[in-house]
Structure 1
Amino acid sequence: MILSADTIDDGTELPCDLCIVGAGAAGITLALQFLRSGLRVVLLEGGGLKPDAAAQALYRGEVADPDLHPPTDRYRQRTMGGTTTVWSGRCIPFDPIDFAARPWLGQDGWPIAYDEVARWYPAANALCEAGDCTFSAAAALPDGMRPTIRSFAPEGFDTDRIERFSPPTDFGARYRARLAASADVRVLIGANALELVTDPDGSTVRRVAVATLAGRCFAVAAGHVVVATGGIETARLLLASRRHRADGVGNAHGLVGRFYMCHIAGTIGTVKLHVPRDYVWSGYERAEDGAYCRRRWTLSEAAQRHHGVANGLLRLHFPTIPDPRHGSGPLSALYLAKPFIGYEHAKRLHNRGGGAGTWLRHLGNVAREPAATAGFFLHAVRHRALAARKYPSVIVRPPGNLFSLDYHGEQVPNFNSRVSLGRETDALGLPRVHLDWRHSPVDIRTAEVALSLLDGALRRWGRGRLDYDPAGVAHHMLRDGAYGGHHIGTARMGATPAAGVVDTECRVHGVHNLFLAGAAVFPTSSQANPTLTVVALALRLADRLKRSLAPARVA
């Protein structure tokens, strides 16, 4: 059932077997595994069924360097479904090397094997509705996917890897009816977790203190508690639970909020290809299951080891939109429309200047390509705005074989990159977050190596070239700051309390009934978007909890 938290009387203590805090991808995935369990499950969601400005304002906080990180209330949604209400739907598994020890990076890797997560990817892919769990270009279509560039196989890259796309699935909307119909799972919306109240010795969470914006206060007393509120809010709740320890819950070694990672991303350079137009394909293809798929060039394990870098990928991309020299009517129309495009989707447009001369040149591009511009927007309406399975992103074939490169790379864990509590409090009295996002030299070095490898491969091939300024890579990768909504690593998994906040089962070290779900527990960030792995780990945790809670009662 789904109820408003304002229907709960003040001072009430709700008993349950399992309390899940947060109804995003991880929390809803967990709850779905207990629909007919015979257990009493409470799922707390701070937002409502639809976006609400007052609830969203609870995400506001401080950013140490606004040029390097978006405002804290951007790229996250405090509503049923969480950030799946606005995500792009990109689904990509992590790579085995992401879990391995990488001495050249000073990293011990994950304390669990890759297969421990990989075996849950098929079920996770199904929940995300991204089609078959096949991430090979050769196997995704009956005859294989067409190559990005025919007869070009750049050394140092795996060119068979693909990304699949969810419709994208809004977990709140898609799975709401199942949750509402369950007699075992009670969803409380507008229920904001304020504190994890433990025993004085911190070994057991006795209850979760909850409040609503309307002023109701109550508690949930659970045998087991899972916090699944995202990489930023998970750290915030643990740090703010200071009744018995000034440093919060699970923070005996000062690791909560540390190692905060996003991804390093940017567009750079000019790729000019001297091949027939039909030799190049940088867009999407649809698999037989309907999912959109796209190739990418991913740094091979051998290249990462040889060059001493992290994981990363490159894609062919249309030229930089704000620069009217691309001559594309559709791209210029997008630039001119930036006042009407949401922050999350137009950040790369809003972060650039452009006087009257720039606008006039963009208008000229639109005037020269009216048919292409109109066709682009008609495609966007038909295949994105109105389609159940949406075309994933903007794909524009620029005039001539002229492209830029889109880079998306791993950020290595950095102890000094962190989420902490700020000086101000929100409307519920909870300290707001303070974000101090920091990158490391190897993050930029990885991008530099990827570009250098592709540059060399194109030169040897002899039918294309990459023009870019090697000295300007850092500028382009950091121009828009930390990448979007990928908030990772603030309560990392470690084999011992000194190495991580949670153990190999995602249980907080030293607190026997408290578990964490979501990207907060990732020890590394990979080159991949986190959602698919978030859902896979949530399924793994649900399996663990089923066996622990009541094996005889769980279907």
Structure 2
Amino acid sequence: MSRQDGQGTDRSPAPRADVCIVGAGPAGALVAAELATSGHDVVVLDAGPRFDPAERTERMERRIRPAHGPESVWDMGGERDAFTSEGDMYYPLNAARVKGIGGTTLHWQGMVYRLHEADFERRSRDGVTADWPIGYDDLQSYYAAAETELGVAGADDNPFAPPRAEPYPMPAFPPSYSDSIFAEACEALEITTHSAPNARNSEAYDGRVPCQGYGTCKPVCPSGAKYDATVHVARAEEAGARVIDRAPVQRLEHDDAGDTIEAAVYATPDGEEHRQEARQFVLAAGGIEIPRLLLLSRSEQYPDGLANSSGLVGNYFMDHLAARVGGTVDQETRQNHVGFITTESHQFYDDGGEARGPFKLEFLNYAGPSPVGEALTSGPEAPWGDGLLDHIRESYGNYLEVTGLCEQTPQKANRVELNPDVTDDHGNPVPEIHWSIDDRTRRTIEAANERQRAIMDELGADVHWVVGPDSTGPAFHHMGTTRMGEDPAESVVDPECRTHDLDNCWVASSSVFVTGGALNPTLTIAALSLRVADRLDAEL
């Protein structure tokens, strides 16, 4: 018998489920859509709410008003989202994550890349870190499927990218005006540039409109032209899956032998707890909440946390580090005309060896303040009317920035653990993040800065800021906390993404990454998730 909470929503457990998925972001949504379409009974539990698509314009407006911080756009913060940070560097966890149906793809930039072949073989090629137990060839067909599912606009013009056997689903976005300025400098410096693939529509695709040019891609796309996981949540529900929002999973319970998970225990807004039983379980709640849930699920058989016989759950936490050089030039740059990146360079990605890791260069289309931001933050003495217009004309429109992502070398000491002294709204210990950067990562950032400065110098720019090793921050790509491997003593999941310790527990997440490369991880998350769905379909 169904039970409704005080909001009139049925959040009672399904009487029968083949698969219970924890998390309704891109990984969970893709697995749910694939399995539900194949005829399996699927239940998805997510900690956050359903966001009304009609409110996206309001959320966009909230983003461009300086009185609102980034957390307020998607209602992050408070006791529910509490965390602590230790280590050499503070980790601002809530600044760029979203809890809710669609997950962090509601907020993301929308850049999608296949990892390079070398990213899977860093130990073999460079003598550092570790190799993945799978290679690029194992994921190539899933990368292609993921590009189709998400809808990727791109061009096969990157000479440094791994091989591909098929075109992108949509043509690439053309280079921006500021890209043409950078192109001249890069040509003089013999730096090869190429297009950047984006999970946003350059033309109508999959029932969604082409990009409308709002320019607020991160943190909200009002038109829906940028992919987010609600696309596959809807597809899963149309195929019969149940997706339950505001149902944070408190713990996982296993059988007496400790071989299989029997139920996910979740809370609902009315204060009750429920048990969702299933034959198989997929953890898809991201690189912070997955290890936290496993650690919260400790038992007599697993005193250090579920699936943690290796002691590595939460260890090897990685992110990508920012390297940036920006300033002004004596010409118009049309800054903020495009809200995403259209040109990059991967020329220096794979030539680091043992000394440094990979990095990529990004030519920013939105350096400096927007016109709205300039007007709203120009100070109490700023003129209004025609005077304000003249002020903006004088101070706006000549900014440029070369940015980039740098690989963080995985270190066991970088980790996610529980802080028993701080609890969330259900009384559970919050995640505590230990984060620092090592010397090899510092050298990677320095190498990126050197190339960025050379480009800005070639342009004759006045450099206003440099983000280097001592001022860097994260890209909010949470990786590595349930790493993949053949040896159960050295990893949490096997090459199929099934936990070594429990035969019906799978992890679909960047948390399984062994190394992070220097490329945005969502396409690899999607490829791994489609692969997990294939394995589960065969298992069921």
The aligned residue for residue 445 of structure 2 is 447
Deviation (angstroms), 1:129: 2.5
The aligned residue for residue 164 of structure 1 is 198
Gap change, CA 1:336 and 1:243, over 3 Å in 2:
farther
The aligned residue for residue 501 of structure 1 is 492
The aligned residue for residue 55 of structure 2 is none
Alpha-carbon contact 1:126-1:132 (below 8 Å) kept? no
CA distance in 1, matches of 2:15, 2:392: 57
Counterpart residue identity of residue 534, structure 2: D
Moved more, 310-319 or 467-476: 467-476
Alpha-carbon contact 2:253-2:297 (below 8 Å) kept? yes
CA distance in 1, matches of 2:461, 2:445: 14
Alpha-carbon contact 2:249-2:265 (below 8 Å) kept? yes
Alpha-carbon contact 2:456-2:463 (below 8 Å) kept? no
Alignment of 1:262-411 (within 5 A): 262-268=319-325, 270=327, 294-301=342-349, 303-305=351-353, 308-317=355-364, 321=368, 331=370, 334=373, 337=376, 359=379, 363=382, 370=389, 373=392, 397-398=397-398, 403-411=400-408
**Per-residue deviation, residues 224-278 of structure 1 (Å, max 9, x unmatched):** 11000011000100111012222111111211111111211143255869xxx79
Unaligned runs of 5+ in 2: 53-73, 161-166, 201-224
Decide which of 98, 101, 113 is 1:92's aligned counterpart: 113
Whether 1:125 and 2:182 are equivalent positions in the alignment is no
Decide which of 198, 218, 227 is 2:274's aligned counterpart: 218
Alpha-carbon contact 2:42-2:242 (below 8 Å) kept? yes
Gap change, CA 1:316 and 1:169, over 3 Å in 2:
closer
**Per-residue deviation, residues 94-117 of structure 1 (Å, max 9, x unmatched):** 222211124646222211011222
The aligned residue for residue 482 of structure 1 is 474
The two structures have a TM-score, normalised by structure 2, of: 0.76
**Per-residue deviation, residues 379-416 of structure 1 (Å, max 9, x unmatched):** xxxxxxxxxxxxxxxxx851xxx634313211111111
CA distance in 1, matches of 2:442, 2:134: 28
Gap change, CA 1:225 and 1:319, over 3 Å in 2:
closer
Counterpart residue identity of residue 89, structure 1: G
Whether 1:425 and 2:423 are equivalent positions in the alignment is yes
Deviation (angstroms), 1:541: 1.0
Alpha-carbon contact 1:59-1:73 (below 8 Å) kept? yes
Alignment of 1:9-158 (within 5 A): 14-50=15-51, 57-64=79-86, 68-70=90-92, 72-102=93-123, 104=126, 106-131=128-153, 134=156, 136=158, 148-150=182-184, 152-153=186-187, 158=192
Gap change, CA 1:142 and 1:447, over 3 Å in 2:
closer
The aligned residue for residue 307 of structure 2 is 250
The aligned residue for residue 203 of structure 1 is 259
The aligned residue for residue 513 of structure 2 is 522
CA distance in 1, matches of 2:314, 2:195: 32
Gap change, CA 1:177 and 1:468, over 3 Å in 2:
closer
Alpha-carbon contact 1:157-1:298 (below 8 Å) kept? no
Gap change, CA 1:223 and 1:176, over 3 Å in 2:
closer
Counterpart residue identity of residue 136, structure 1: N
Gap change, CA 1:69 and 1:255, over 3 Å in 2:
same
Gap change, CA 1:366 and 1:520, over 3 Å in 2:
farther
Gap change, CA 1:46 and 1:304, over 3 Å in 2:
same
The two structures have a TM-score, normalised by structure 1, of: 0.74
Counterpart residue identity of residue 345, structure 2: W
CA distance in 1, matches of 2:127, 2:426: 41
SS of residue paired to 1:119: helix
Deviation (angstroms), 1:196: 1.4
Whether 1:241 and 2:297 are equivalent positions in the alignment is yes
Gap change, CA 1:366 and 1:432, over 3 Å in 2:
farther
Alpha-carbon contact 2:324-2:401 (below 8 Å) kept? yes
Deviation (angstroms), 1:497: 1.4
CA distance in 1, matches of 2:469, 2:503: 44
**Per-residue deviation, residues 121-158 of structure 1 (Å, max 9, x unmatched):** 22212332323574639998699857641373477955
Deviation (angstroms), 1:199: 2.7
RMSD across aligned positions (CA): 4.0
Gap change, CA 1:505 and 1:133, over 3 Å in 2:
farther
Moved more, 146-155 or 185-194: 146-155
CA distance in 2, matches of 1:407, 1:365: 37
SS of residue paired to 1:474: coil
CA distance in 2, matches of 1:524, 1:157: 26
Moved more, 309-318 or 114-123: 309-318
Alpha-carbon contact 1:135-1:163 (below 8 Å) kept? no
Deviation (angstroms), 1:446: 0.7
The aligned residue for residue 203 of structure 2 is none
Alpha-carbon contact 1:203-1:512 (below 8 Å) kept? yes
**Structure with the higher fraction of residues in helix conformation:** 1
CA distance in 2, matches of 1:236, 1:61: 11
Counterpart residue identity of residue 228, structure 2: D
**Per-residue deviation, residues 358-390 of structure 1 (Å, max 9, x unmatched):** 8489x48997882795999xxxxxxxxxxxxxx
CA distance in 1, matches of 2:517, 2:477: 11
Counterpart residue identity of residue 164, structure 1: N
SS of residue paired to 1:303: coil
Alpha-carbon contact 1:268-1:405 (below 8 Å) kept? yes
Alpha-carbon contact 2:185-2:455 (below 8 Å) kept? no
The aligned residue for residue 260 of structure 1 is 317
Deviation (angstroms), 1:198: 1.5
Decide which of 521, 530, 541 is 2:532's aligned counterpart: 541
Gap change, CA 1:467 and 1:117, over 3 Å in 2:
farther
CA distance in 2, matches of 1:439, 1:433: 20
CA distance in 2, matches of 1:259, 1:35: 33
**Per-residue deviation, residues 306-355 of structure 1 (Å, max 9, x unmatched):** x721111223447974xxxxxxxx557525646xxxxxxxxxxxxxxxxx
SS of residue paired to 1:497: coil
Deviation (angstroms), 1:177: 3.7
The aligned residue for residue 354 of structure 1 is none
CA distance in 2, matches of 1:466, 1:53: 39
Identity of aligned residues (%): 27
Gap change, CA 1:304 and 1:157, over 3 Å in 2:
farther
Decide which of 7, 10, 19 is 1:7's aligned counterpart: 10
SS of residue paired to 2:535: helix
CA distance in 1, matches of 2:384, 2:461: 24
Gap change, CA 1:432 and 1:132, over 3 Å in 2:
same
Alpha-carbon contact 1:149-1:281 (below 8 Å) kept? no
Gap change, CA 1:411 and 1:547, over 3 Å in 2:
same
Deviation (angstroms), 1:188: 1.9
